[in-house]
Amino acid sequence: MTANPDAPFRVVFVCSGNICRSPMADVVFRRIADTSGLGAHIASSSAGTGDWHVGERADHRTLAALERLGYDGSSHRARQFQYADFERNDLVVALDRSHERVLRGWARDDDDADKIALLQSFLSDAETLDVPDPYYAGAPMFDEVLGMIERASRALFRQLEPAIRSAG
């Protein structure tokens, strides 16, 4: 939990370019937190390991997949993960093992490294630890990826919820 008990628990979701998977995870996790009544005690964001899309909106297929399930990702703007994100966040959630490797390479110390987790690792029955990149696929893959992210985000939230409730 955060050093300051009054501060929200901060989570950043990280993928490659911050236009597909990590914005989905941020939007989904935010909805879960808000629906649970803990929205004020949790802050989430997203970032990419690369800088290719900085300042851009989420991919139109990401936005469409989110919209089909009643989510709104329209305010998202891509950004690149920065070293300061380790300091600003309590948990750094990678969407696949390549992101995890990059983040571990960027970690300056054990405290940074200890904050890194794979989203799928929160599922006890995950078939894979990687959420696949839908960028080079069609709309059905975006929907499939969103479903994976919803399931894993609910599992992540269930793990965090007791500590956040007791701190709040």
Catalytic residues: 15, 21, 133
- Cβ distance 8 to 42 under 8 Å? yes
Structural contact between residues 91 and 115, judged by C-beta atoms closer than 8 angstroms? yes
Contact 21, 95 (CB under 8 A): yes
| Three-class SS of 88-114 | HCCEEEECCHHHHHHHHHHCCCHHHHH
Retrieve residue 43's tokens: 């802050």
H helix and E strand count, the chain: 6, 4
On whether the CB atoms of residues 49 and 99 are closer than 8 A, the answer is yes
Cα–Cα distance, 76 to 58 (Å, whole number): 6
Which amino acid appears at position 85 of this protein?
A: D
Tokens 């089909």 found at: 68
